[in-house]
Structure 1
Amino acid sequence: MFARVKCLIPTLAATLLWGGQARAEDQTPAEAPASEAPPAAADVPATPASADQTATTAEPTSITEQAPALSDEELLKQSQAETIEIFDERPDKPFDRDTDVRLTGDQLAARGATDLGTALSLLPDVTVRDAGRGGFNIDVRGARKGAVTILIDGVNVTDPYYGTFDVSTIPITDIVQIRMSTTPQSPIDGPGGPGGVVEVLTRDAIGEQMIIARATGDSLPSVGVTGTARIALKKYLGLRISAGGVGGARDLELPMNAAIGEERHSATGSTRLEYRRGDARLVLDGFLDSRHYISPPSDTTSSSILMVDRETSARVSTKGDLRRGKLQLQAQGWVHSLNRRSRYYSDPALTTQAQTEDLEAMRIGGMALATHPIGKDARWAVSGSVDRDNARVAVLNGSVSKGDVTMFELAANLQYEKKTVRIDAAGGAALPVGVGADPWPEGKLVVKWRPRFGPLEVSATAGRKGRVPSLRERFDLTTGNPALGPEMASTGEVRASYDIKDRIKLEVAPFYKRTNGMVRVSLDPADMGKLTNLGKLSIYGIDTQARVEIIPNLWVGGAYNFIKAHSDDSGDDPLDRLPHHRGEAWVQGSPIDKLTLLARVRYFGDSIDKAMNVDGYTLLEATATAPITKQYLAVLRVEDLLDVQPETRAGYHTAGRVITLVLQGQWQ
């Protein structure tokens, strides 16, 4: 299987050398090519008359039901008219999650994003941070690890052992939309997610035949290629296949001016087989990722060196949709596996092996949902889901650790829309098995109001959600604690958004969270680095964003995020790597035709990591985007332009200035 995946990489890379007429995904011939659209910065739309942007203010259509294409004239009128969005009668459509569109595939291409991790780093209310064992994880308002659910086409993809997901593993050419909620996951969507939801929608297999390929190179140095192809097999049957590969030769700095090569290489492949006829839809998805790398060690303190010499992740999932009259049914099933061999060395020459860890983990689960309209204004839905995780870990001395946990969730939902008001209420019960915890109730209520007198939207959200500790948090031979209990969070948020003819947009979202049992490393020396449940925490803050079009094709904007955590037991700042202040400012313009420039300044305030202070820092980034031809788009991006090389956690600094060149081609 690995050989087949690797064979796809040069094949897809070769598509950069040929092609037909390029168009954006699901774009009509009347629309401008994606390469002519200005890149998104913070919440800047891909184009002032973008149909995707309309979806951020209107109720999103489903993947299986596309809105009629609009002409250039209609799009222009739509973008210039000051429309007041009225919910009124709820359209007869499949069930929607309460997430909002944050980025589209065209915006990601224009900003030079290379994977899901770099895509999420474009959002000011998301922190993408390096994981201690390599890869990248995300934080949302202090929530991390398994507290933030990542859904790929509706399936939770956090791994069955660590409870995290490396956001650098998803090929960027697969992504059509990134949607997000900074409030807890609704019970109707299954267990977990007390800290928020990131939902990624990938390309359908049904649609016009197309190929997208992308080549990247940077100054670390590393090179990569990703590609996606879609073809119709029969009238109602389509196939999408994607592959990617990355190789890196960066020198990782060690104390005393020493260095070690990262030896990074990975191959990723995914495929989708999709049948769609009328109201019936059946999808089969497969994903395979294999990688090898050395986890960046501390560059200030001597420590063991972790080599991951074999990490294989595989996922298979299936999803079916069916309509019987007005009753709509949906069912999903999935199997995830993770195999990882880790080697720990005590010397940079990798001659003295101090420890090994062989991990085998698996998740099996499924979900069923039924929904039906109630008259013209309301809809009910019910769902049931189950996830079972199990893992086995063996180390060098022969010690073996095993564990498993099963989670059931039963939930009901009621949605009501009338004129300018929408109410979405969900409640459910989480039933853990194998973790020594009692069942607990969960709920979420969202009320949205769009007044008639102006382009204002106000929403209020209240929710309570929990998660069980990951298998690693409970059974790791070094830091695990089998006595860990569930992590619970109650959240309240008010969000107001004001959008004037799409030329000025202001958004403000104060929030408050009350958590109990958050998992972190114990600071008590007697615990010897074991994990523990914190007591009750109060986390509060505010997220703000703004953008203004100064003149046509010249935008300025920025964001400011404040957060503060307080423990009833230990006082202020109980959470590591949580700066109180973060902010950014950007300017974007097109000085000449078909060239878009973006400059972005980001600030991260002081934080604490394992009782040590980490100084704040400021980074400058720049991006230039230009269509070379109708088929090709080129992006030049410079990160950490001033080569600050900040310390992001105690003893670990970034690589500094990195120059990346991206070349993308698309043919249909």
Structure 2
Amino acid sequence: MYKYLFFLTASAVPGAALAQDSTEDALAEILAAQDATGPAEQPADNGGEQITIADQLVPSITVTANGLGTDIRNTGQAVTVIDREELVSIQGADPTRALQRVPGVSFSRNGPAGAFTGVNLRGAGSEQVLVLIDGVPVADPSSPAGGFDFGSLLTGTVSKIDVLRGSNSTIWGSDAIGGVIDISTRADTGMQGSLELGSRGTAFASALAGVSEDDFYVGLTGSWYETDGFSSAASGTEEDGFSQIAVGVTAFYDIADSLELSGHLNMSEGLLDIDGFPAPNFTLADTAETQKTLRYWGDIGLTYYGADLTLRARYSRADTDRSNRADTGTLSFESKGQMERADLRGEYRLVGGLSAAFGYDYQRNQYETSFDSFAQANIQGAYVQLGWVLGKLAVHAGGRIDDHDFFGSETSFGGDVSYGLKDDWRLRASFGEGFKAPSLFQLFSDYGNRDLQPELSTSFDLGIEKGQRGTGTHFALSGFRRDSEDLIDFVFCTGLLPSPCSPGQFGTYDNTERARAQGIEAEAGIDVVGTLRISGVYSFVDAEDRMTGLELARRPRHFGTLFADWEAGFGLSLGADLRIVGDSFNDAGNFTQIDGYELLDLRAAMPFGDNLEVFGRVENVFDIEYETVSGYGTAGRGVFAGVRAQM
């Protein structure tokens, strides 16, 4: 019998404005026939001996590709995995410093740390990317477009980030138009901790403690971050700070050899200084406004491991409360969003390398704001996917149907194929459909339209790859295309015939837009000499509004990262990351250009014995002035140093 644990715990979560599953949760759900150490192998029989925690932490496994625990070489989809070791080497609390090493990923931020940060996959909007944290959908239903804010997601308790690029609603349902980002939090044993101090009055600390025996695991995690920041308004002088504390508990218990109970409970609270648009000019400027975000999320699950059948049932819930205060300290806006979800996933081994994965989920989203009364919408869906592994060939194909309270039913189909060649080369291809349900704000607010249909997408990609990321000689080249339709946009009522507006509305949301994103992604890495490794990623993304022919806002056509790491014989490690981003436009009309930029970061680390390490880095070495959103400030040169220990 083979058992995989859930690794469910706390991470620092979003706080500013907007916000789906899994750590190793699908590992706990399903043991797929293609879960192997190589594309052609099947799991070995261990004679009934219980698998230890260490045995189960297999870094090459990813769960975002198809909903199963799968060797990354057994999927034809474009997936990048950033593990804990790489996160530690990069240093810092900001997850975008790691995500910039992933092909096809670009981002924009409205000011300093903690400010709203949107992550785009292959030109898809940040609200069209499904984000999962430890099995719990983390979108805030009270946010206008239902996206996820990476601004206050910190890396201190993160063990792994999986990034799937391409539409994949077949397995994951709503929101997976651009792809899926799966964030797994840490579930180690022993005690670990780190403390970092640096520029702009920044302090970042994280800690972990975990205990395990043959039949249970209990772990605690926590992080604390505080910075004085800098002005969100590029023209301002007032510092806009940010602080956040997050705590969580993880537990699982083997009720019997074939039955496991698991769950986690987490809380985070963040306080962010923000700038506004004060009278009389109503342009972005220094203000003393603040935003407080309080989040609770968690789940409980029960997993059955049979000889050929694996089943897991789970209930999860996430609450997000946000409150904004004006310069005077009076409450100016308040919102409450809640998600409840029940799901069942399973996998049945048929014959040989043939398996069938299946699942059902029911999700209820609710919201209420200072200006909008309580409203909710429910969506439920079911999927089936067949997988076949034969030698160096792996194939998956599946379909899904969802039913929503307002727009009715939507179907999604997808498939992928991977074939291994000589000398560790691999061909891969995938096709996927995606959809995004209208947000509660788009449906029920004063500007809402209850006749909205879901946004839809169809994506294709084709790639070739040699080796594996992060080791030996690695090369990957992909071409992709995604067509989207029925995109939801705000429209003014005047002159619209027929009008989607209700009586009294001057504007509403409607399915009016179409877009296309196509391009190439390249990734390479090589061990030059000794312990010197040089790697790089480059992306060309042509993201176009097909109604106007203009470029989509804040989507650079060219961007990439070069990074190098070297380790001396006595333990000293040195590294550098060079981020290069081309020009883009700030607005849909392409009136305001955002100039491209180049940023260089340097870092170093030195161990002292087996349990202590000192580290430091310099960000934006040449103190470059740049923007990712027009009018909003960005960080200048920063120097940081810290220490981490374990026992």
TM-score (norm 2): 0.81
Give the corresponding residue for 1:311.
293
Asked if residue 183 in structure 1 is aligned to residue 166 in structure 2, the reply is yes
Asked if residue 166 in structure 1 is aligned to residue 149 in structure 2, the reply is yes
1:546–1:254 Cα change, 3 Å: closer
Asked if residue 358 in structure 1 is aligned to residue 339 in structure 2, the reply is no
Give the corresponding residue for 2:534.
556
**Cα deviation, residue 202, structure 1:** 2.7
Q: Any conservation in 1 of the 2:541–2:557 contact (CA below 8 Å)?
A: yes
Give the corresponding residue for 1:15.
none
Asked if residue 656 in structure 1 is aligned to residue 626 in structure 2, the reply is no
Give the corresponding residue for 2:521.
543
Cα distance in 2, alignment partners of residues 658 and 229 from structure 1: 31
Cα distance in 2, alignment partners of residues 545 and 603 from structure 1: 14
String of CA shifts for 1:262-303, please: whole Å, max 9, x gaps: 242221111111113533221111110111111355899445
Cα distance in 1, alignment partners of residues 380 and 71 from structure 2: 21
1:289 to 268, 290, 311: 268
Cα distance in 2, alignment partners of residues 302 and 116 from structure 1: 26
Give the corresponding residue for 1:147.
128
Q: Any conservation in 2 of the 1:335–1:362 contact (CA below 8 Å)?
A: yes
2:564 to 587, 603, 609: 587
1:615 to 587, 591, 595: 595
Cα distance in 1, alignment partners of residues 252 and 275 from structure 2: 40
Give the corresponding residue for 2:9.
none
1:247–1:475 Cα change, 3 Å: farther
Cα distance in 2, alignment partners of residues 60 and 221 from structure 1: 52
1:450 to 420, 438, 453: 420
RMSD across aligned positions (CA): 3.4
1:141–1:251 Cα change, 3 Å: same
**Cα deviation, residue 358, structure 1:** 1.2
String of CA shifts for 1:316-350, please: whole Å, max 9, x gaps: 2112210233111111111111111113x4xxxx2
**Cα deviation, residue 565, structure 1:** 2.1
Cα distance in 2, alignment partners of residues 141 and 221 from structure 1: 35
String of CA shifts for 1:48-104, please: whole Å, max 9, x gaps: xxxxxx979898989x9569879xxxxxxxxxxxxxx9xxxxxxx967896745111
1:569–1:191 Cα change, 3 Å: closer
Give the corresponding residue for 1:506.
475
In the TM superposition, what are the counterparts of 1:324-335 in structure 2 within 5 Å? Answer: 324-335=306-317
Q: Any conservation in 1 of the 2:40–2:390 contact (CA below 8 Å)?
A: no
1:218–1:373 Cα change, 3 Å: same
**Cα deviation, residue 608, structure 1:** 1.0
Specify the code of the residue in structure 2 equivalent to 1:156.
P
Give the corresponding residue for 1:425.
397
Cα distance in 2, alignment partners of residues 253 and 161 from structure 1: 23
String of CA shifts for 1:477-533, please: whole Å, max 9, x gaps: 5x7665543111100011211139953211111100010123455699999886554
**Cα deviation, residue 633, structure 1:** 2.2
In the TM superposition, what are the counterparts of 1:511-526 in structure 2 within 5 Å? Answer: 511-520=480-489
**Cα deviation, residue 445, structure 1:** 0.2
Cα distance in 1, alignment partners of residues 42 and 605 from structure 2: 28
Asked if residue 261 in structure 1 is aligned to residue 239 in structure 2, the reply is yes
Specify the code of the residue in structure 1 equivalent to 2:210.
R
For structure 2, the residue ranges without an aligned partner over 5 or more in a row are 1-11, 13-35, 45-49, 61-67, 496-504
Cα distance in 2, alignment partners of residues 146 and 424 from structure 1: 27
Cα distance in 2, alignment partners of residues 171 and 530 from structure 1: 35
**Cα deviation, residue 406, structure 1:** 1.2
Asked if residue 597 in structure 1 is aligned to residue 546 in structure 2, the reply is no
In the TM superposition, what are the counterparts of 1:2-17 in structure 2 within 5 Å? Answer: none
Asked if residue 390 in structure 1 is aligned to residue 366 in structure 2, the reply is yes
Q: Any conservation in 1 of the 2:134–2:184 contact (CA below 8 Å)?
A: yes
In the TM superposition, what are the counterparts of 1:68-467 in structure 2 within 5 Å? Answer: 100=79, 102-114=81-93, 116-130=95-109, 134-162=115-143, 163-170=146-153, 172-204=155-187, 209-232=189-212, 236-252=215-231, 254=233, 258-276=236-254, 277-295=256-274, 301-303=283-285, 305=287, 307-343=289-325, 345=326, 350-351=327-328, 356-394=332-370, 399-433=371-405, 436-451=406-421, 453-467=422-436
1:211–1:426 Cα change, 3 Å: same
Q: Any conservation in 2 of the 1:469–1:484 contact (CA below 8 Å)?
A: yes
Among all aligned residue pairs of Structure 1 and Structure 2, give the percentage whose two residues are the same amino acid: 19
Number of matched residues? 573
Bigger mean CA deviation after superposition, 403-412 or 520-529: 520-529
Specify the code of the residue in structure 2 equivalent to 1:136.
T
Q: Any conservation in 2 of the 1:211–1:666 contact (CA below 8 Å)?
A: yes
Q: Any conservation in 2 of the 1:171–1:226 contact (CA below 8 Å)?
A: no
1:634 to 597, 614, 626: 614
1:124–1:317 Cα change, 3 Å: same
1:566–1:334 Cα change, 3 Å: same
Cα distance in 1, alignment partners of residues 332 and 180 from structure 2: 34
Cα distance in 2, alignment partners of residues 154 and 59 from structure 1: 28
**Cα deviation, residue 152, structure 1:** 2.0
1:525–1:627 Cα change, 3 Å: farther
**Cα deviation, residue 193, structure 1:** 1.0
String of CA shifts for 1:594-646, please: whole Å, max 9, x gaps: 11212222111111112321111111111212213311222212221111120
Q: Any conservation in 2 of the 1:312–1:340 contact (CA below 8 Å)?
A: yes
Q: Any conservation in 2 of the 1:600–1:622 contact (CA below 8 Å)?
A: yes
Q: Any conservation in 2 of the 1:146–1:158 contact (CA below 8 Å)?
A: no
Cα distance in 2, alignment partners of residues 443 and 606 from structure 1: 35
**Cα deviation, residue 124, structure 1:** 4.0
Q: Any conservation in 2 of the 1:645–1:657 contact (CA below 8 Å)?
A: no
Give the corresponding residue for 2:553.
576
Look up the SS of the partner of 2:176 in the other structure.
Answer: coil
Specify the code of the residue in structure 2 equivalent to 1:247.
E
Specify the code of the residue in structure 2 equivalent to 1:293.
L
Look up the SS of the partner of 1:119 in the other structure.
Answer: helix
Give the corresponding residue for 1:31.
none
Cα distance in 2, alignment partners of residues 459 and 366 from structure 1: 33
Look up the SS of the partner of 2:315 in the other structure.
Answer: strand
1:167–1:568 Cα change, 3 Å: closer
Specify the code of the residue in structure 2 equivalent to 1:127.
S
String of CA shifts for 1:567-601, please: whole Å, max 9, x gaps: 3321131x210011112223332356311212222
Cα distance in 2, alignment partners of residues 61 and 306 from structure 1: 58
Look up the SS of the partner of 1:106 in the other structure.
Answer: helix
Look up the SS of the partner of 1:110 in the other structure.
Answer: helix
Specify the code of the residue in structure 2 equivalent to 1:566.
E
Q: Any conservation in 1 of the 2:463–2:479 contact (CA below 8 Å)?
A: yes
Specify the code of the residue in structure 1 equivalent to 2:342.
G
**Cα deviation, residue 211, structure 1:** 1.0
Specify the code of the residue in structure 1 equivalent to 2:423.
G
Specify the code of the residue in structure 2 equivalent to 1:559.
V
